[in-house]
Amino acid sequence: MLTVSNLSIKVGSRFLLKDVSFDAKPGELTVIIGKNGAGKSTLLHTCTGDLKADEGNVQLDSRLLEKYDSRDIAKRRSVLSQQQPLNFPLKAKDVVLMGRYPHSNRFLNTEDIRIAQEMLMLTDTSHLSDQSYTTLSGGEKQRIHLARVLAQIWKPQDAEQRYLFLDEPTASLDIGHKQQLLELIKSLVISEKIVAVAVLHDLNLTSQFADKVILLKEGRLLETGKPAQVFNPELIEKVFDIKADVIPHPKLEYPLIFTSMLN
């Protein structure tokens, strides 16, 4: 599993993260939430090794993250970031194939191509396969990059544990594709026993899909647990400075959150 122990990051006199600890298990989707500036993306990218903590550590399978060889970890851990600075006129399928580079010595093979095609199908982007990446909409680009990061960790050797990190993966998507993407991620996390950690802003999507919620306020872990435990009016008001009503979903087993401004 992923084990985060007492992480702290400080810039000057300000803590971006302060003494944050949690774990994330295979087959579960862990979601980090909080206001803008709460440290959500900082925490996620410290878990991936893109940022270095001043204190504490991150372990994958009981091994410190910094002890892994960069190529070895790239076969097991993939990251979907908020920003994708790619402006080359590659075909969409070639962007997905980039996810297979850690698995190849010099050249991609037929298995790499098969996996890329399978990920295009899974993300409902096969029809974009031969289209230039630069002509895609923001939402289409996001789904292509999801296909890429899934291709990167698909079917590793020796049944190694796989890790998927997603920083606001639904940001550029319409409501239908938000639902579709999170349903896909959740189904793959369960069926493939992937350790998945995501940053989301939407409380109701988090409530619907998260197995565990990490609630941050000003870089500190305020609460962690299942959505029904974390999403209560008092905590939501404390973190987001809004009034909240929380009621059970009439048909499904997760809470619905209705918000309004404080008087």
DSSP string of the chain, one letter each residue:
-EEEEEEEEEETTEEEEEEEEEEE-TTEEEEEE-STTSSHHHHHHHHTTSS--SEEEEEETTEEGGGS-HHHHHHHEEEE-S-----S--BHHHHHHGGGGGG-SSS--HHHHHHHHHHHHHTT-GGGTTSBGGGS-HHHHHHHHHHHHHHHTSS-GGG---EEEEESTTTT--HHHHHHHHHHHHHHHHHHT-EEEEE---HHHHHHH-SEEEEEETTEEEEEE-HHHH--HHHHHHHHSEEEEEEE-SSSSSEEEEEEE--
Strand partners, 80: 166
User: pLDDT tier at 144 (50, 70, 90 boundaries)?
Assistant: very high
Average pLDDT over residues 179-187: 92
Question: 95-120: per-residue pLDDT in tens?
Answer: 999 999 998 877 889 999 999 999 99
Average pLDDT over residues 130-138: 91
User: pLDDT tier at 158 (50, 70, 90 boundaries)?
Assistant: low
Neighbouring C-alpha atoms within 13 Å toward the C-beta of 1:
12
How confident is the model at residue 157, as a pLDDT? 58
User: pLDDT tier at 253 (50, 70, 90 boundaries)?
Assistant: confident
User: pLDDT tier at 159 (50, 70, 90 boundaries)?
Assistant: low
Average pLDDT over residues 10-37: 94
CB 245 within 8 A of CB 63: no
Question: 73-97: per-residue pLDDT in tens?
Answer: 998 999 998 777 777 789 999 999 9
For residue 156, pLDDT over 70 is answered with no
User: pLDDT tier at 218 (50, 70, 90 boundaries)?
Assistant: very high
How confident is the model at residue 5, as a pLDDT? 96
How confident is the model at residue 174, as a pLDDT? 87
How confident is the model at residue 12, as a pLDDT? 87
Domain ranges of the chain: 87-156
